[in-house]
Amino acid sequence: MTMTIESSTTDSSLQSSNYDVSIFIPVYNEEENIKLLDDQIKAALDGQSINYEVIYVDDGSSDKSFEVLKSVAQGNSHIKVLKFRRNFGQTAAMSAGIDAASGKVLIPMDSDLQNDPSDIPNLLAKINEGYDVVSGWRKNRKDTFINRTLPSMMANKLISWLSGVNLHDYGCTLKAYRSEVLKDIRLYGELHRFIPICASWVGAKVTEIPVKHHERQFGESKYGINRTFKVVLDLMLMKFLTDYITKPIYVFGGIAFISILLSFASFVGAIALKFTNHIQLDGTPLPLLGAMFFTVGVQIFMMGILADLVMRTYYESQNKRTYSLEEALNLHD
């Protein structure tokens, strides 16, 4: 294995010297798994002439995980450890891993031995074929069917359908990304599983390969069924953010328009009833309905204007671009 000596960190970032591959691994109460995982990674990658670093992010573990990580990192400068002050969640831990990674290819992985490091060379081979994102597909998933695998299958179908990106398994942590793809993405909620979608939406080439999956031997899963709902909500939010963030008035304006149309229809209906069936205006709920639709419509329209103002502040305060460049020729910087 080739190893690069760690250089001093730059002032504002945690990044260390350059590696080809950065593996980053969130750890939350996985004391029995870490040493075995470290062995598996070594077995899979040492001797492959891959210049890699491993970044463990201890997400506020309350067991001995950090002590084990310390001993694993001892004397191995390519193994880095970050420790959170408290439990911030897997997505935050992955963000920290991405921030600290210096590799050209970034590979997230679980620390519970359910993913198998021996798949990493296959992921890298796909990246070398020219893909920007290679997603792992736990084709033979070893989790309980009724509360894990089945809801996840349904969520995956829904996500594929809504996003237009066809992957079988968004939830598999083991994936490989070209680092440019991850650099600008900010992760919130459970959004880490949607990175391939964000990437594909800005034009990245995305593919998937089957990867191994093992039953959890030690420790316990940190999630229950409610994760599926969170994931679906996250997706809807993200769909909105990507499609309409630069033009929120289209969404709000559209709903406002429908509401105001309904209000006019109600008024017209009420008047029609008066002249055809001789039902007085106070003999039908239609005028009230009309007034309600009208108020709601105006309010939603105003909300759209507010959303538009917020969006402008969001982009202009951070100098964010509303597009994503692949290349720029003959331009400075």
> What does the binding site for ligand UDP look like in residue numbers (CB under 6 A)?
26-28, 30, 59, 87, 89-90, 93, 110-112, 114, 221-223
Cβ(14)–Cβ(99) below 8 Å? yes
CB of 19 to Mg ion, least distance (A): 26
Q: Which of ligand UDP, Mg ion, none has residue 27 at its interface (CB below 5 to 8 Å by kind)?
A: ligand UDP
For residues 68 and 113, which CB has a smaller minimum distance to Mg ion in the complex?
Answer: 113
Q: Which of Mg ion, ligand UDP, none has residue 197 at its interface (CB below 5 to 8 Å by kind)?
A: none
What does DSSP assign to residue 149? Answer: I
Q: Which helix (H) or strand (E) holds 208?
A: strand 206-211
Q: Which of ligand UDP, Mg ion, none has residue 169 at its interface (CB below 5 to 8 Å by kind)?
A: none
For residues 89 and 253, which CB has a smaller minimum distance to ligand UDP in the complex?
Answer: 89
CB of 124 to Mg ion, least distance (A): 23
Q: Which helix (H) or strand (E) holds 176?
A: strand 175-178
Q: Cα 201 to chain center, whole Å?
A: 13
Could you identify the residue written with the tokens 């439990």? 87
For residues 22 and 114, which CB has a smaller minimum distance to ligand UDP in the complex?
Answer: 114
For residues 37 and 182, which CB has a smaller minimum distance to Mg ion in the complex?
Answer: 37
CB of 111 to Mg ion, least distance (A): 9
Q: Where do contacts with Mg ion occur on this chain (CB under 5 A)?
A: 112, 114
CB of 193 to ligand UDP, least distance (A): 10
CA distances to 55, 82, 83, 248, 322 from 66, rounded to whole Å, are 13, 9, 8, 45, 41
Taking alpha carbons only, the member of 151, 201, 208, 209 closest to residue 181 is 201
CB of 138 to Mg ion, least distance (A): 10
What does DSSP assign to residue 277? Answer: T
Could you identify the residue written with the tokens 């809807």? 236
Q: Which of Mg ion, ligand UDP, none has residue 257 at its interface (CB below 5 to 8 Å by kind)?
A: none
Q: How many beta carbons lie within 10 A of that of residue 148, not counting itself?
A: 19
Hey, which residues does 55 pair with through a beta bridge?
24, 80
Q: Which of ligand UDP, Mg ion, none has residue 24 at its interface (CB below 5 to 8 Å by kind)?
A: none
Q: Which of ligand UDP, Mg ion, none has residue 117 at its interface (CB below 5 to 8 Å by kind)?
A: none
Q: Which of ligand UDP, Mg ion, none has residue 90 at its interface (CB below 5 to 8 Å by kind)?
A: ligand UDP
For residues 112 and 132, which CB has a smaller minimum distance to ligand UDP in the complex?
Answer: 112
The H helix count followed by the E strand count for the chain is: 10, 7
CB of 119 to Mg ion, least distance (A): 15
- 47, with CB counted inside 10 A (0-12, 13-18, 19+), is exposed
CA distance 14 to 82: 10
CB of 13 to ligand UDP, least distance (A): 21
Alpha carbons within 13 angstroms on the beta-carbon side of residue 333 total: 0
For residues 112 and 169, which CB has a smaller minimum distance to ligand UDP in the complex?
Answer: 112
For residues 149 and 242, which CB has a smaller minimum distance to ligand UDP in the complex?
Answer: 149
CA distance 324 to 310: 21
For residues 89 and 196, which CB has a smaller minimum distance to ligand UDP in the complex?
Answer: 89
Taking alpha carbons only, the member of 9, 30, 186 closest to residue 96 is 186
CB of 45 to ligand UDP, least distance (A): 18
Q: Which of Mg ion, ligand UDP, none has residue 223 at its interface (CB below 5 to 8 Å by kind)?
A: ligand UDP
CB of 314 to ligand UDP, least distance (A): 28
Q: Which of Mg ion, ligand UDP, none has residue 93 at its interface (CB below 5 to 8 Å by kind)?
A: ligand UDP
Cβ(48)–Cβ(80) below 8 Å? no
